[in-house]
Amino acid sequence: MHRCLLLGILVLGLFMTNPMASSADVSGLISCKDSPIFKLRLDKNVQKINKRLNNYEVGTFSYLTLQRQIDQASARFNKYSKQGLLCGGDGLPHLITDGHTGHTGEFIRPGLGFLYITGWIGWAGRSYIHYTKKTDKPNENEIIIDVPIALSMMTSAFLWPLSAWNELIRGEFIIPEPKITISPR
């Protein structure tokens, strides 16, 4: 009994103490616009394309294509510099997902885009499976995909968050527990 009380006091004491928070910031990352290695990467990239550029006459299709690659690389590196991304010792931008509001654009927009696209694909597949259950040959329709139907499911599934919300409100999204099959053990 005394041991449990002593252990409880010790655990409570550990939680109540306020140790100094370590300030590691972002692990030695620096702004890409200030990183010499980041600038060196751009220079090497442009030099590499320039070497190939010297093999072609000015104004030819190949020359213009390579010139466009140089412009795109410069624009990309310039964009990374202006957005305030942080670069590591390798000269590459690193995405920070530490919860600070200054880094939300690095993860939130792509993360939400990923979730939306995967939900779109999943909802279209779910809709197609629901469709096949109502056909006369459900197993065959799951194996041999009816492409026109599947495409119509894909185009209607882009509003999947609204469809999911409506099904949740109507009680159709979640199956009641008695309808869930349990395999014998």
Q: What is the per-residue pLDDT across 132-158, written as a single tens digit (0 to 9) for each?
A: 999 999 899 889 999 999 999 999 999
Residue 18 has pLDDT above 90, yes or no: no
Instruction: Give CB contacts under 8 A, 24+ apart, made by 19-27.
Output: 26/86, 26/94, 26/96, 26/98, 27/88
Nearest to 26 by CA among 84, 81, 82: 84
Domain extent, residue 110, equals: 102-172
Residue 19 has pLDDT above 60, yes or no: no
- The answer to whether the pTM exceeds 0.75 is no
SS3 (DSSP) at 93: strand
Q: Is residue 60 part of a domain?
A: yes
Pair 82, 126 in one domain = no
The stretch 38-49 carries a mean pLDDT of 93
Q: What is the mean pLDDT of the chain?
A: 85
Residue 165 has pLDDT above 90, yes or no: yes
Pair 143, 160 in one domain = yes
Residue 162's pLDDT band, with cuts at 50, 70 and 90, is very high
Q: Which of 94, 117, 148 is the last residue of a domain?
A: 94
> Among residues of the chain, what percentage have pLDDT more than 90?
50
Q: Is residue 163 part of a domain?
A: yes
Please state the domain count of the chain.
2
pLDDT value at residue 24: 41
